[in-house]
Amino acid sequence: MKLQIGNAAPTISMVDSDGNNFAIPSGKKTVLYFYPKDNTPGCTAQACNLNENLDSLQAKGFQVVGVSIDTNASHTKFKAKYNLAFPLLSDPEHQLAEAFGVWVEKSMYGKQYMGVARTTFIIDENGIIIDIIEKVDTKNHSSQIH
């Protein structure tokens, strides 16, 4: 089932790349963004844009959390390299990606493979999805979040 605005987000309870507990619902508005891979151009642009605008997003009551299938070790290096000030979740078995419906068949150079569809879910304090951004502008992503 594809998640839609108004659906309850899948329940999450896990440890982020900093060793802190993360949960949905969290009692906070959450920008939960799924991205394909650490240190790739689009993913780096997206993370840096969110990081540069983190104060204004937090002023609107949002917490920002990124998810990819990379390891926590990769996330730690990625965060350090770009001074990212928000948590990243490691989803190597793509359980979160599947639960949120973003583990999809992709194609590159004529080859089919499974991967993460870059998608952002805006989740309210009670764990309800209030927006889904599927056409992510990686360089200006924070301006897409309301």
Instruction: For residue range 51-67, list pLDDT tens digits in order.
Output: 999 999 999 999 999 99
Query: In which domain, by residue range, is 93 found?
Result: 30-144
| 7 vs 129: CA distance, rounded Å | 6
Residue 96 lies inside a defined structural domain of this protein: yes
Q: What is the mean pLDDT of the chain?
A: 94
pLDDT digits (tens, 9 = 90+) for 125-138: 999 999 999 999 99
Residue 4 lies inside a defined structural domain of this protein: no
If you count them, how many residues does the chain have?
Answer: 146
User: For residue 6, how far is the Cα from the chain centroid?
Assistant: 19
| 32 vs 65: CA distance, rounded Å | 5
DSSP 33-69: EE-S-TTSHHHHHHHHHHHHTHHHHHHTTEEEEEEES
The predicted model gives 43-55 an average pLDDT of 97
Q: Is the pLDDT of residue 1 over 70?
A: no
- Count of structural domains, the chain: 1
Q: Is the pLDDT of residue 104 over 80?
A: yes
Classify residue 8 by its DSSP letter.
Answer: B
**CATH, residue 97:** 3.40.30.10
Q: Is the pLDDT of residue 3 over 80?
A: yes
Q: Which residues are catalytic?
A: 43
Q: Which is nearest to 82 in space by CA: 144, 40, 116, 115? A: 40
Residue 131 lies inside a defined structural domain of this protein: yes
Band of residue 108 on the pLDDT scale cut at 50, 70, 90: confident
Give me 13's structure tokens: 């309870």
Range with lowest mean pLDDT among 3-12, 16-25, 90-99: 16-25
